[in-house]
Amino acid sequence: MPGEWAKVRGTVLSLWPLFLCFVALGAFGAALAMGKYTLVFAALFVLSLVATMVLWRKGLRRVESFFKGARGEERVAALLATLPGGWHVFNDFVAGGYHVDHVVAGPAGVFSVETKSWRGSVTVEEGEVLVNGSLPDRAPVTQATREAAAVKAALKRAGWEKGDVMPVLCFASDTFAGAQQMVGTAVVVNASEVTAWMQSRPKVLSDSDVERLAQLMETCV
């Protein structure tokens, strides 16, 4: 299911510190009830309570950012689902330790799609993807390229060795200023144009090749 991994991962990573806070609150509360070292445990209980409140607010904001990304994956998955017959879409494709947002196989080959839902204007300058003119914390093209390599390796293990896997950096928020643009071996494109771009690519696989490839991909899921 598109976006499910982002939701689960985001919830766990964002809220697990609260579990420790709840344990600390319970332990210090029990110590207070026992009546020993009251001042010390009262101070620790208050500190734990403050930490819980701070982490709760911070965690919820972080969860929302992950859920925003998940909604972007859902939008891109819905657009990819409109591809005509002969195209196959695999969402949340696990390859080499990566959870690739979408892997698409069709007459034009295999595409590994990394979805982003960034706010602000996205541009490409001197081979770098920028958001509002600044470098992001994590290089998205590098991420997309690594995921494509992992998909290729997974397909090779399954018995497929025809052609490369093309990395695609897709902006679900349609915030990329260009139509589509190559950055190294990856293409940067808006979600609204991704299906048209894929279908415009030259045919490199026969119908029988695509069907065999789709069957092999199902064994990788």
Return the H-helix or E-strand segment holding 58: helix 38-80
d(Cα 170, Cα 76) in Å, to the nearest integer? 8
pLDDT confidence of residue 217: 87
Number of structural domains the chain divides into: 2
Which residues, other chains included, contact 213 with Cβ-Cβ below 8 Å and sequence gap of 6+? 88, 105, 110, 155, 160, 162, 205
pLDDT, averaged across the chain:
82
User: Which of 45, 73, 101 lies at the terminal end of a domain, its last residue?
Assistant: 73
pLDDT band at 63 (very low <50, low <70, confident <90, very high): low
Task: Answer yes or no: is 198 within a domain.
Answer: yes
Task: Answer yes or no: is 39 within a domain.
Answer: yes
Task: Answer yes or no: is 99 within a domain.
Answer: yes
Whether residues 99 and 207 share a domain: the answer is yes
pLDDT band at 192 (very low <50, low <70, confident <90, very high): very high
Q: Is 134 helix (H, G, I), strand (E, B) or coil?
A: strand
Task: Answer yes or no: is 9 within a domain.
Answer: yes
Task: Answer yes or no: is 175 within a domain.
Answer: yes
Pairing mode, strands 186-190 and 128-131? unpaired
Per-residue pLDDT, averaged over 187-213, amounts to: 94
Whether residues 119 and 52 share a domain: the answer is no
pLDDT confidence of residue 219: 77
Which residues, other chains included, contact 218 with Cβ-Cβ below 8 Å and sequence gap of 6+? none
pLDDT confidence of residue 161: 83
User: Which of 46, 73, 100 lies at the terminal end of a domain, its last residue?
Assistant: 73
pTM: 0.74
- Amino acid letter, residue 111: F
Pairing mode, strands 128-131 and 98-106? unpaired
pLDDT tens digits, one per residue of 118-167 = 888 899 988 889 988 888 888 999 999 999 999 999 999 888 888 889 99
pLDDT confidence of residue 29: 67
**Percentage of the chain exceeding pLDDT 70:** 74
d(Cα 43, Cα 47) in Å, to the nearest integer? 6
- What's the number of CA atoms in the CB half-sphere (13 Å) around residue 60? 5
Task: Answer yes or no: is 78 within a domain.
Answer: no
Whether residues 55 and 97 share a domain: the answer is no
Structure tokens at 38: 């009251």
Whether residues 147 and 65 share a domain: the answer is no
Return the H-helix or E-strand segment holding 193: helix 191-200
Task: Answer yes or no: is 79 within a domain.
Answer: no
In terms of Cα–Cα distance, which of 205, 206, 129 is closest to 168? 129
pLDDT band at 48 (very low <50, low <70, confident <90, very high): confident
Name residue, tokens 């045919």. Answer: 203
pLDDT confidence of residue 107: 96
Whether residues 64 and 170 share a domain: the answer is no
**42 or 73, which is more confident?**
73
CB 75 within 8 A of CB 116: no
pLDDT band at 102 (very low <50, low <70, confident <90, very high): very high
Whether residues 138 and 204 share a domain: the answer is yes
Name residue, tokens 């600390």. Answer: 24
d(Cα 86, Cα 90) in Å, to the nearest integer? 13
d(Cα 5, Cα 79) in Å, to the nearest integer? 19
pLDDT tens digits, one per residue of 64-77 = 665 566 687 888 99
Give start and end residues of each alpha helix (H) in 81-132: none
- Residue 97: give the domain boundaries: 84-220
